Structure 1
Amino acid sequence: MSLLENIVKRTRQYRKLHRYIGSVLVIFFFTIAATGVLLGWKKHSGGYILPNTEKGSSANLIDWKSLDTLASAAQLALYRQDSSLNTTIDRMDVRADKGTVKVSFKGNFYEVQIDGATARVLAINLRKSDIIEQIHDGSLLDVAFNSNGGWFKLGYTSILGLGLLILSVSGFWLWYNPKRIRKMK
């Protein structure tokens, strides 16, 4: 088999591999691309994707209530909003310069923004950005199937990462080999 025939044969193999992997993973790549664009725009969405951070009454931490008091106020506010929601705190994001604490909860996508100095509720918002992030990285499957350890996310990102790597390599050869073939003829 000549070098030219060998290049042509390998190019056909790359084309098959590229088409197969691309057709199997295209929906996932589209999802990652679309959610990636949304996540890139989240801070510039006018509060639609990521809720705007409200301003509290004091940025001076000495004036602030204890974290325990702020946490209790956030939990009570979420419970009053919808008693069916889980009020177990996932994280508290302190925005000292804004005088605000954003409290996020486990098992739902809500946040309660609390004034650090008065413990007054400033806003209760659905964090659409968290939903988009979990779709983007595949961790929504871990939440849906109550998987501890993030195995769905690990599998999802590994398969898609390897798929993209294979598509990049095979795509390069699908672009380069016809140039080599023309040059050899």
Structure 2
Amino acid sequence: MRKDTKRQRQAKLLRIFRKIHRVTGAALFMFFFFIAITGLLLGWKKHSGGVILSKSYQGTSTELKDWLPIDSLNSLANSYLLKTISSNLSTDIDRIDIRKDKGMVKFIYADHLWGLQLDGATGKLLHVDRRYSDLIENIHDGSILDTYLGTSDNQIKVFYTTVMGIALLVFTITGFWLWYGPKRMRRNNGAT
């Protein structure tokens, strides 16, 4: 009788794990779909032939002593942005990516997806691009909702990544048990 009770407990536990796995999967299907697709795209961004991530262009000098001051490069980048793209765009900088080995500086803006590459020494505009990799990353981590809704401290991103991280952990545990549980039950039945 004792072994039968143990088998019933194992079967009940297996049914609970199956239900948790199924409900979590159904509830979060679209989120997992977006994470999978955007994760694949981010993994391939450097190998997309410039579609997702633009190539880095070469400037004239890799010697920092030859370069214009950062504030001058910033002014030039903002001027190029407003003249070549739209005079209505924000010039708030998200980050400045200095590529000394390329002799080039990338200016990435905070409020839109445009980026510019300037020659560090001459300030000449090397390339203007839409930063699709940033858009894909924002979808991947949920921060696109923070941008869209104007939240102050990435609360949606933190909540989203917490829920999805816990869900992945739940999937891993329940999925393992759905694989291992029946094997264990068969092994225990063989021992009787």
TM-score by length of 2: 0.93
Residue equivalent to 2:28 = 25
Per-residue CA deviation, residues 82-119 of structure 1 (Å, 9 max, x unaligned), is 11211111211000111100001111011111111111
Residue in structure 2 matched with residue 63 of structure 1 by the alignment: 66
Residue-by-residue CA offset, 1:6-62 (whole Å, 9 max, x unaligned): 101111111111100011112111111111111111111111111111111111111
Out of 146, 150, 153, the residue aligned to residue 146 of structure 1 is 150
2:160 equivalent in structure 1:
156
Q: Return the alpha-carbon distance in structure 1 between the equivalents of residues 177 and 121 of structure 2.
A: 62
State TM-score, norm by structure 1. Answer: 0.97
- Spell out the pairing of 1:29-44 with structure 2 (5 A cutoff): 29-44=32-47
* Root mean square deviation of aligned Cα: 1.0
Q: Which amino acid in 2 is paired with 1:29? A: F
- Code of the residue aligned with 1:86 in structure 2: it is S
**Counterpart AA for 1:163:** A
**Which residue of structure 2 aligns with residue 8 of structure 1?**
11
Answer yes or no: is 1:98 the counterpart of 2:102.
yes
**Unpaired stretches in structure 2, ≥5 consecutive residues:** none
Q: Distance in 1 between matches of 2:177 and 2:66?
A: 64
Give the number of equivalent residue pairs.
Answer: 185
Q: Can you give the 5+ residue segments of structure 1 that lack an aligned partner in the other structure?
A: none
